């Protein structure tokens, strides 16, 4: 009997895949807060309240200069938001945070209040990967959270394969790497070999604070403080871990699969 039961239940549940990106994105949890924004003009003179509360030293304010927040290092604990007396650092509620260049994650300078969101790949690469992108995931010291929230994109709710994006078992079948973790010394050889095994042209995506800058482990002698110490990175997706929606947004942005608004 169970086969019939299973099919009936399955039919009753219907399609469980979200309508995004055709429809609106699913709501972030209300306490998530989204990404951060820095308006350094609001900083009080000489105020450094946000600096010592940051666990990863992502916030700095050198003497006489405006405050600077590096979203690549940030684990989005929002301690700086709570510490700021003038609301110079605020949460935007926006899930979008992926960028193409490392510098685009550094906030605070005039005109750089928010992350400069990623542009699409160039025409040639878009023609190659735009409708079919195969990625090999490498965890290089990742704690299993970035891995889990990347994996979740393959479940029925997100259904990443509807965009032609898939994770493959071999680097030989891949168009690029998606790297998590701060890149431990002990994973350096394996990461290099995996990268070398991917046929060109190829792309590299760094997911999470660890893979971008070392995250909570920045500065440890056992880690390399992120993927770009070894490899050229084409897309940085910040977070600890980034929400699946943030990762999906980054991938679709890279492939130019989001409707221009």
Using omega within 30 degrees of 0 as the cis cutoff, is the peptide bond preceding 44 cis? no
- Does 190 sit near other proteins (CB under 8 A)? yes
Number of residues interacting with other proteins: please give it, by CB under 8 A.
Answer: 67
What is the sign, positive or negative, of the torsion defined by CA atoms of 79, 82, 84, 88? positive
When the beta carbons of 108 and 239 are compared against other proteins, the nearer one is: 239
With beta carbons less than 8 A apart as the criterion, state whether 150 and 177 touch: no
Q: Does 32 bind other proteins (CB under 8 A)?
A: yes
Q: Which is nearer to other proteins, 116 or 220 (CB)?
A: 220
Query: Which residues partner with 60 through β-bridges?
Result: 68
Among 35, 68, 194, 246, binds other proteins (CB under 8 A): 194
**CB 247, min distance to other proteins, A:** 12
Task: Verify binding: residue 187, other proteins, rule CB under 8 A.
Answer: yes
SS3 state at 187: helix
Q: Which of residues 46-85 bind other proteins (CB under 8 A)?
A: 52, 54-57, 75-77
Smallest gap from Cβ 261 to other proteins, in A, equals 26
Assess 157 for contact with other proteins (CB under 8 A): yes
Structure tokens at 83: 């510490």
Binding flags for other proteins, 203-222, as an x/- string (CB under 8 A): -------x----xxxx-xxx
Q: List, as one string, the DSSP characters of 109-173.
A: STT-SS--PPPPPPHHHHHHHTT-EEEEEEESS--SHHHHHHHGGGSTTT-GGGGTEEE-S-GGG
Distances (CA, A) of 220 to 56, 165, 224, 226: 12, 34, 8, 11
* Residue 94 binds other proteins, judged by CB under 8 A: no
CB 37 within 8 A of CB 74: no
Decide if 93 contacts 30 (C-beta within 8 A): no
CA–CA gap between residue 114 and residue 125 (Å, rounded):
27
Closer residue to other proteins (CB): 15 or 260: 15
250 part of the interface to other proteins, by CB under 8 A: no
User: Smallest gap, in angstroms, from Cβ of residue 85 to other proteins?
Assistant: 20
Among 148, 172, 192, 256, binds other proteins (CB under 8 A): 148
The residue (of 108 and 182) whose beta carbon lies closer to other proteins is 182
Residues that bind other proteins (CB under 8 A): 2, 5-6, 9-10, 13, 16, 29-33, 52, 54-57, 75-77, 136-152, 154-157, 167, 169-171, 181-182, 184-187, 189-190, 194, 210, 215-218, 220-223, 240-241, 243-244
């Amino acid at each position: 009997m169970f086969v019939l039961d299973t099919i009936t239940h399955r039919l009753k549940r219907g399609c469980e895949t979200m309508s995004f990106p055709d429809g609106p994105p699913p709501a972030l949890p209300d306490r998530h807060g989204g990404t951060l924004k820095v308006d350094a003009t609001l900083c009080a003179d000489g105020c450094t309240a946000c600096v010592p509360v940051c666990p990863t030293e992502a916030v700095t304010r050198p003497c006489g200069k405006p405050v600077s927040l590096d979203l690549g290092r940030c684990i989005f604990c929002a301690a700086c938001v709570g510490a700021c007396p003038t609301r110079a650092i605020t949460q935007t509620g926006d899930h979008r945070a992926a960028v193409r260049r490392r510098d685009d994650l550094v906030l605070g300078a005039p005109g750089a209040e928010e992350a400069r969101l990623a542009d699409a790949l160039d025409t040639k690469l878009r023609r190659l990967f735009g409708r079919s992108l195969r990625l090999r995931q490498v965890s290089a010291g990742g704690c299993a959270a970035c891995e889990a929230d990347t994996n979740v994109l393959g479940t029925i709710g997100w259904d990443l394969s509807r965009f032609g994006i898939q994770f493959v078992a071999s680097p030989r079948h891949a168009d690029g790497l998606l790297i998590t973790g701060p890149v431990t010394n002990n994973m350096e050889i394996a990461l290099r070999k995996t990268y070398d095994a991917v046929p060109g042209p190829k792309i590299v995506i760094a997911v999470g604070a660890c893979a971008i800058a070392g995250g909570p482990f920045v500065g440890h002698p056992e880690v390399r403080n992120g993927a770009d110490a070894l490899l050229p990175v084409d897309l940085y997706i910040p977070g600890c871990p980034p929400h699946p929606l943030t990762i999906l947004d980054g991938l679709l942005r890279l492939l130019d699969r989001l409707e221009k608004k």
